[in-house]
Structure 1
């Protein structure tokens, strides 16, 4: 697990990115740019929530008291079979991932390269679909065929765990 200093640095960087995006919102009059910027801010806030969960877990490991956030990825899981691992990552089988379709109040998760991402509040995944692809699946091949060399896209998503065989 990342140490608390590393997590705090990541949080500081994310806050700086959010401040930049807020200034960009004020500076632009183009509605399309404003919508893209707002979507980026939502993603950064979700990333902060994830980093906070890591910080909480790290503080518990070091014996410090912390209060976990409500509605974090760990508290939204349907059962305890996905308990956090020693690395504080959730492990998902393909069958478990298939439960996270964004329907019936469940979050929308997708897997790419073994990492499970939350796309619930991502504008590109409205109604838990993206160009005919649906959430709750491993989309490694689809991502590679459409977004080669575009790792930055995955960096805008909140990782919630890893896909296991």
Structure 2
């Protein structure tokens, strides 16, 4: 028998975050409940960096981890992937909180992983990290794109 998703109410951290959004009149998120073993709730929105609108989602589940995931770009060709992976790995070693990765389908994601148990979950920390994320992308987005569009010799 398939599991029936109970939505936000089955995930204490997601419920806290939703209440925080309502209390602060933040209405830029849509929510999606995932039918999985962790009662995952995805809060979807977008962020802007260097004039580009980037899809972003906050994945809150019943594990200890909350992930803020931003899609940087899609459609990276096979020829560009090797050199881009090297550059993304440099960024990963340079910045502690951020993790860039390039999927096999040519999509680049940037993750921030925050550990919270139910009792320590902090919506304000998520809000702060979103601000840090935007500042970071404002600083590095053009360099990332330069590596992507750089012509191979």
TM-score range, shorter chain: under 0.3
Structure number with higher strand proportion? 2
Q: TM-score, normalised to structure 2's length?
A: 0.28
Structure number with higher helix proportion? 1
